[in-house]
């Protein structure tokens, strides 16, 4: 029937039929039940009102706390030693840092009217800014207070003893600030270093604005009863008219419950507090705010029951009207609706539990059938997206193998399932990878990484776990592998030629390999990575392009030499260093900082322009034939690789003439072929009786 194709009509029909059956079968029992339910609803509504307002206010308080906590952490990081606080410049720097933190966060919170930083040990108020004119502009209070003869420190220094005893952040009770000329509540947070409180940070909230946000424009008393902002004991109330606080007894409201019951009721909706309000029994729903205050909805008990009776009468009248106009609906309609909805609900629960293999095959051409089909399609898309997201999060986009997250997950899963089976973790690192990037470009470096990933897959196969640990470091976990099998596999891989192709050229590279054996369930994954890393660096310390298994003695290896690269060494050599092509007119390939200083040049570009990038241009014309003869002699005697020393003159960039002593050595370079390495020093700095030919005197 097309009349019931609409889900809205089906639900309406079921509701009407249910109401008719309830009226006919339940009768007086239903009325009695509804009465109690309506009463419970009123109590729940009281809790709902205070819970809603409390959530809003607690959000403001929590955000205020977060601002102070964030600034506090900044101060803790800056104050590494309490003695620094004696330095006024350091105090100003920390105050400026805190001021920036507050300025970034305070504009989002309208209740904040002041923030400050105080050093109790130095009795110094380093920062105090406030919105004095209530226009959102924060100005320096200290200068203004000193000009008006007021205290230049916040009132909160009086809470020093309290925070020393408690040792933690706290909200203070409302009070009137003479400087700010308003009632405020304050959140202060101490900073401890070496067991001593070194600083206090805090903010002030405009208490009157805080109360206006709670009470709004509603009258104190109305149909809902009375909204009350009280202290933790439930005996003192605060309002915009009485921000200093008034005892509830002065308003003819007397607490009958104990203070402990008030505290318990503030933490749960199941507890109500009893009062006598103008001589009548009353109850209050209570919730606790973060600043140790309570928010209550106070109502007269008789008033609650009168509202319940009124609601019951309205419901009874409505029920009678429904009974007059409703007729019985077909039972199969209810059954159809229930079965279809239960399927959708069951499918939703499966999706919530992470199971996406659901089947909502529904061919009915109605709203429920369309809902089922759309839900089925949505779940399939979500499942595909989740699988793709999981793959992306655990795989390296450059090489296609596992990344560090996927590597850890795969290895940890295998270790949990096979705690006592043998295995090994292998760390592989490309030797001089930075040189590849610097010489050929990062695209070439990417191709080297992809090439190594392909070779690892080909060498170790799909049965083992292969991943990129980060940068140019890769890792392989061999499962169910004995030490002998691991060693054989590593030997074979290490012996393979390794090269990558880029820009139409083939470039060789080598790798260093360190590995650690998995010895059982007592070995953690982090320990396994540590041992493999130690073995890898042991290889690097001994020249790279090799492999080693972890040994305990590797823990004592000195890695300091790995911290010196070519740039650091060359820049700090006391002698000038020149690298050029091994020809009489060889192109200059490298000079160090001392070489620039020797030729009185400001930078490399100035040096290259001065020499035109040719090594013979660094030599005076009178000495060039002799130096060219020495170069040709070394090239003819290249097999000996003997170093040659020579003395000659140079002209500097500024026109000065210098006599230098130089040692030249011929060597092969994988990227430039045969090159000369020359160290040069001014002749006046060395002894006069130098030997001019090291090779002849060796």
Structure tokens at 556: 């004592």
CATH number of the domain that 194 lies in? 3.30.450.20
Rounded to 5 degrees, φ, ψ at 249 are: -60, -30
Same domain? For 537 and 573 the reply is: no
Confidence (pLDDT) at 443 = 93
Q: Containing domain of residue 380, as a range? A: 335-392
Of 297, 293, 299, 296, give the one whose Cα is nearest residue 245. 293
**pLDDT tens-place string over residues 91-144:** 889 889 988 988 888 777 788 988 888 887 767 778 888 888 888 888 888 877
Q: How many domains does the chain have?
A: 4
Residue 444, pLDDT > 80, answer: yes
Q: Which residue has the tokens 């370079």?
A: 669
Same domain? For 351 and 462 the reply is: no
Distances (CA, A) of 260 to 287, 295, 296: 14, 16, 16
Same domain? For 416 and 544 the reply is: yes
Q: Where are the extended beta strands (E) located within 7-147? A: 112-119, 124-130, 139-140
CATH number of the domain that 521 lies in? 3.30.70.270
CA pair distance 218, 211, nearest whole angstrom: 12
CA pair distance 366, 5, nearest whole angstrom: 5
Inside any domain, residue 679: yes
Residue 693, pLDDT > 90, answer: no
CA pair distance 509, 22, nearest whole angstrom: 85
More confident residue, 241 or 370: 241
CA pair distance 439, 566, nearest whole angstrom: 14
Inside any domain, residue 54: no
Of 220, 227, 248, 230, give the one whose Cα is nearest residue 294. 230
- Find out whether 411 and 423 touch, Cβ atoms under 8 Å: no
> Which of 218-232, 258-272, 313-327, 554-568 is most confident?
258-272
Confidence (pLDDT) at 518 = 92
What secondary structure letter does DSSP report for 562? G
Confidence (pLDDT) at 692 = 44
Same domain? For 604 and 519 the reply is: no
- Find out whether 638 and 666 touch, Cβ atoms under 8 Å: yes
Residue 24: CB partners within 8 Å, gap ≥ 6?
323
Q: Where are the extended beta strands (E) located within 471-614? A: 473-479, 499-502, 505-508, 511-518, 547-549, 576-581, 588-591
**pLDDT tens-place string over residues 508-565:** 899 999 999 998 878 889 999 999 999 998 898 877 889 999 998 888 776 555 555 5
Same domain? For 559 and 574 the reply is: no
What secondary structure letter does DSSP report for 498? -
**pLDDT tens-place string over residues 298-310:** 888 877 777 666 7
CA pair distance 548, 557, nearest whole angstrom: 14
- Find out whether 114 and 101 touch, Cβ atoms under 8 Å: no
- C-alpha torsion 379→384→385→388, nearest 10: 160
Rounded to 5 degrees, φ, ψ at 476 are: -130, 130
Inside any domain, residue 501: yes
Structure tokens at 259: 């203070």
Confidence (pLDDT) at 279 = 86
Inside any domain, residue 326: no
Of 671, 656, 657, give the one whose Cα is nearest residue 590. 671
Same domain? For 506 and 605 the reply is: no
Same domain? For 409 and 531 the reply is: yes
Residue 286 parent element (H or E): strand 280-288
Of 215, 281, 232, give the one whose Cα is nearest residue 253. 281
Same domain? For 358 and 496 the reply is: no
Q: What is the pTM of this model?
A: 0.42
């Amino acid at each position: 029937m097309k009349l019931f194709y609409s889900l809205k009509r089906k639900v309406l029909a079921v509701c009407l039929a249910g109401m008719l059956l309830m009226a006919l079968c339940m009768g007086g029992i239903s009325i009695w039940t509804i009465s109690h339910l309506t009463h419970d609803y009123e109590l729940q509504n009281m809790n709902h009102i205070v819970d809603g307002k409390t959530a809003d206010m607690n959000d403001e308080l929590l955000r205020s706390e977060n601002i102070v906590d964030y600034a506090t952490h900044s101060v803790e990081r800056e104050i590494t030693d309490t003695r620094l606080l004696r330095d006024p410049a350091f105090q100003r720097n920390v105050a400026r840092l805190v001021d920036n933190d507050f300025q970034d966060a305070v504009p989002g919170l309208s209740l904040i009217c002041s923030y400050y930083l105080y050093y109790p040990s130095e009795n110094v108020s380093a920062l105090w800014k406030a919105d004095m004119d209530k226009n959102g502009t924060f100005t320096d209070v200290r200068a203004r207070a000193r000009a008006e003869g007021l205290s230049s420190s916040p009132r909160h220094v009086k809470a020093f003893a309290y925070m020393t005893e408690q040792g933690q952040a706290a909200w203070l009770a409302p009070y009137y600030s003479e400087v700010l000329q308003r009632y405020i509540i304050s959140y202060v947070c101490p900073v401890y270093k070496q067991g001593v409180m070194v600083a206090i940070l805090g903010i002030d909230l405009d208490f009157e604005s805080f109360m206006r946000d709670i009470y709004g424009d509603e009258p104190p008393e109305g149909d809902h009863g009375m909204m009350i902002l009280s202290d933790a004991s439930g005996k003192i109330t605060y309002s915009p008219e009485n921000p200093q606080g008034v005892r509830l007894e002065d308003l003819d409201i007397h607490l009958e419950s104990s203070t402990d019951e008030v505290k318990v009721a503030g933490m749960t909706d199941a507890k109500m507090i009893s009062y006598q309000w103008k001589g009548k029994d009353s109850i209050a729903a209570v919730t606790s705010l973060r600043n140790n205050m309570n928010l209550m909805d106070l109502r007269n008990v008789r008033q609650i029951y009168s509202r319940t009776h009124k609601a019951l009468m309205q419901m009874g009248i409505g029920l009678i009207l429904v009974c007059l106009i409703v007729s019985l609906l077909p039972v199969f309609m209810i059954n159809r609706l229930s079965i279809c909805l239960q399927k959708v609900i069951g499918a939703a629960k499966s999706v919530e539990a992470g199971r996406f293999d659901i089947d909502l095959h529904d061919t009915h051409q109605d709203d429920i059938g369309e809902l089922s089909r759309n839900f089925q399609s949505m779940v399939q898309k979500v499942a595909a997206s989740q699988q793709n997201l999981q793959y992306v999060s655990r795989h390296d986009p450059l090489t296609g193998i596992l990344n560090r997250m996927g590597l850890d997950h795969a290895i940890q899963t295998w270790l949990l399932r096979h705690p006592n089976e043998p295995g090994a973790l292998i760390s592989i690192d490309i030797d001089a990878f930075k040189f590849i990037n610097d010489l050929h470009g990062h695209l070439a470096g990417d191709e080297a990484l992809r090439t190594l990933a392909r070779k690892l897959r080909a060498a170790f196969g799909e049965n083992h776990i292969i991943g990129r640990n980060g940068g140019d470091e890769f890792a392989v976990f061999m499962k169910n592998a004995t030490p002998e099998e691991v060693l054989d596999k590593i030997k074979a891989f290490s012996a393979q030629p390794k090269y990558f192709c880029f820009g139409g050229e083939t470039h060789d590279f080598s790798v260093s390999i360190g590995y650690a054996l998995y010895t059982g369930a007592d070995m953690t994954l982090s320990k396994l990575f540590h041992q493999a890393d130690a073995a890898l660096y042991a290889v690097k310390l001994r020249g790279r392009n090799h492999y080693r298994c972890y040994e305990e003695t590797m823990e004592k290896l000195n890695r300091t030499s790995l911290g010196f690269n070519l740039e650091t060494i060359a820049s700090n050599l006391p002698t000038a260093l020149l690298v050029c092509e091994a020809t009489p007119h060889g192109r200059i390939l490298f000079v160090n900082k001392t070489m620039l200083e020797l030729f009185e040049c400001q930078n490399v570009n100035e040096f290259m322009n001065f020499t035109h990038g040719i090594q013979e241009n660094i030599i005076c014309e009178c000495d060039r034939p002799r130096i060219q003869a020495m170069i040709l002699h070394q090239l003819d005697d290249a097999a000996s690789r003997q170093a040659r020393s020579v003395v000659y003159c140079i002209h500097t960039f500024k026109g000065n003439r210098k006599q230098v002593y130089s040692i030249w050595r011929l060597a092969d370079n994988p990227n430039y072929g045969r090159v000369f390495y020359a160290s040069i020093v001014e002749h006046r700095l060395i002894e006069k009786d130098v030997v001019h030919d090291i090779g002849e005197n060796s």
